[in-house]
Amino acid sequence: MIPSRTCPTCEFPSDEADLFFAENIKPEKISGFSFASRKLPEYMCHRMVLCPVCDLVYADTPPAEDALAESYHAASYDSSEEADDAAKAYILAIQGVLDRLTGRDGALEIGTGTGVFLKHLEEAGFTKLVGVEPSRAAIDAATPECRKWIREGMFNEHDFEPESFDLICCFMTMEHVRDPMEIAKSALRLLRPGGVFLTVTHDYRSPVNRFLGKRSPIVDIEHLQIFSERAISGLLTRAGFLEVSAQRFVNRYSLRYWTRLSPLPAGIKTFLGDCFGKPVLSRIRLGINVGNTLACAYKRR
Ligand SMILES: [Zn+2]
C-alpha cells in the first residue's frame, strides 16, 4: 500500500480534499509511450483530489520516486518535431522576461527533452547552458549540438553550484515530479539574486480543459499534480519567490499534432492525421490557446 501524501504545496490533509478524478489505470494499456512527452492521449490517471486551500489538483497516492525514475528513463520518444514547435512558442512567450533580465550567465532547463529550447537560449545570448533529462530515448533524439548540454538523469539540486544560474526553466514538467515544491525551492537556491524561474504548466480551469473533462490530455498517468493559475502562483510564492505572475499563452503546432491531442475517435484521428501529414499541409502551424500557463517568478536581488 502506497502511503498517501498531504497537498504538495500547502500540506493540507488529503483526506479533507475533494475527489477530482477517480483512478483510471488499465495496466494492459501501459506502454513505452505512457511516460513519453506529447504522446497520443491515453486518458488514464491516478486518483486526483482538489486542495480546497491552494487550488492544486494532485494524486494523493503517487508512485514512489524510484519507480517514477525508471518509468521516465525507459520511456519511448517520437516527438522531436513537436518539441521544436513547443520550444519556438516558449521563446516567443518569454521574450519580455528575457528583455528584463540583466545577467545571461548560466541557464538550466529541468526536463529538457532533446535540449532544443537550450539552442534558442544560446541564440538569445545565454552562456553555460545545461539541461537535465531522464529519458534516454529523448536524449538519443537530440542533435549532437544540443546533446552536449544534456545531463541524463532525474534533477538533483546538488549536481549544481548554489546561485550559479540567471535563468531556470521547467516546462511541462512540474506536473510530473514527486515534489514540485522541492523543485521550486531548489530553483530558488540555484538562482543568482535577481534571477528568474519560469514554468509552463497545464491549467485545469481553462475553458478548453473544462469542456473536454475526462477526454482532456491533462488526464494523464504521468501527472502527479495539475495546476490552475492560482495553484502555480501560490506554489512559487510559498517557495519564496517574488513578483510571481502567471498568464496563458498560445501554442503553435501542426494540424496533425492538434488532431492527435483532440478527443476525436481513433479512426477519424488516424484519417485526419494521414491527411495533415501530407507535404503541403504538414508545414502549416496553427496557434491555439489551450490554457497552458507561463509562470514567472524572481529571486530577491
Ligand atoms: Zn494545497
Q: What average pLDDT values come out for the chain (301 residues) when binned by 10 residues?
A: 84 95 85 67 89 97 89 78 86 93 96 96 97 94 96 97 98 95 98 97 90 84 95 98 92 71 77 75 70 94 93
Expressed in angstroms and rounded, the spacing between residue 187 Cα and the centre of ligand 1 is 20
Residues 92-98: contacts with CB under 8 Å, at least 24 apart = 93/249, 93/250, 93/294, 94/198, 94/294, 94/296, 97/196, 97/198, 97/296, 98/124, 98/167
Expressed in angstroms and rounded, the spacing between residue 38 Cα and the centre of ligand 1 is 27
Expressed in angstroms and rounded, the spacing between residue 225 Cα and the centre of ligand 1 is 11
Task: Check residue 287 and give its pLDDT.
Answer: 66
CA angle, 96 then 98 then 102, to 5°: 125
Expressed in angstroms and rounded, the spacing between residue 188 Cα and the centre of ligand 1 is 20
Q: How many CA atoms lie within 13 A of 221 on its CB side?
A: 23
Expressed in angstroms and rounded, the spacing between residue 146 Cα and the centre of ligand 1 is 37
Question: How many whole angstroms separate alpha carbon 301 and alpha carbon 195?
Answer: 8
Expressed in angstroms and rounded, the spacing between residue 281 Cα and the centre of ligand 1 is 44
φ, ψ (nearest 5 deg) of residue 155: -65, 130
Expressed in angstroms and rounded, the spacing between residue 237 Cα and the centre of ligand 1 is 13
Task: Check residue 84 and give its pLDDT.
Answer: 85
Expressed in angstroms and rounded, the spacing between residue 17 Cα and the centre of ligand 1 is 9
Look up residue 239 and give its three cell numbers.
517557495
Question: How many whole angstroms separate alpha carbon 252 and alpha carbon 73?
Answer: 28
Residue 150 lies in a domain: yes
Provide the whole-model pTM.
0.88
Q: What is the total count of domains within the chain?
A: 1
Expressed in angstroms and rounded, the spacing between residue 297 Cα and the centre of ligand 1 is 19
Expressed in angstroms and rounded, the spacing between residue 238 Cα and the centre of ligand 1 is 11
CATH code for the domain of 99: 3.40.50.150
- Residue 117 neighbours by CB under 8 Å, 6+ apart: 86, 87, 90, 91, 109, 131, 169, 171
Q: Where are the beta strands (DSSP E) in 67-126?
A: 105-110
Expressed in angstroms and rounded, the spacing between residue 233 Cα and the centre of ligand 1 is 12
Residue 57 lies in a domain: no
Expressed in angstroms and rounded, the spacing between residue 231 Cα and the centre of ligand 1 is 8
Expressed in angstroms and rounded, the spacing between residue 136 Cα and the centre of ligand 1 is 33
Q: Which of 102, 20, 101, 25 is nearest to 59 (CA)?
A: 20
Expressed in angstroms and rounded, the spacing between residue 234 Cα and the centre of ligand 1 is 9
Residue 206 lies in a domain: yes
Question: CB–CB of 2/61 below 8 Å?
Answer: yes
Task: Check residue 3 and give its pLDDT.
Answer: 67
Task: Check residue 37 and give its pLDDT.
Answer: 64
Domain that holds residue 91: 77-298
Expressed in angstroms and rounded, the spacing between residue 10 Cα and the centre of ligand 1 is 4
Expressed in angstroms and rounded, the spacing between residue 197 Cα and the centre of ligand 1 is 21
Residue 167 lies in a domain: yes
Question: How many whole angstroms separate alpha carbon 126 and alpha carbon 167?
Answer: 9
Expressed in angstroms and rounded, the spacing between residue 11 Cα and the centre of ligand 1 is 6
Expressed in angstroms and rounded, the spacing between residue 26 Cα and the centre of ligand 1 is 28
Residue 95 lies in a domain: yes
Expressed in angstroms and rounded, the spacing between residue 232 Cα and the centre of ligand 1 is 11
Residue 33 lies in a domain: no
Expressed in angstroms and rounded, the spacing between residue 90 Cα and the centre of ligand 1 is 28
Expressed in angstroms and rounded, the spacing between residue 8 Cα and the centre of ligand 1 is 7
**Please, what's the largest Cα pairwise distance for the chain?**
55
Expressed in angstroms and rounded, the spacing between residue 143 Cα and the centre of ligand 1 is 40
Residue 285 lies in a domain: yes
Residue 204 lies in a domain: yes
- Residue by residue, what is the 3-state secondary structure of 249-285? CCEEEEHHHHHHHCCCCHHHHHHHHHHHCCHHHHCCE
Question: How many whole angstroms separate alpha carbon 177 and alpha carbon 194?
Answer: 25
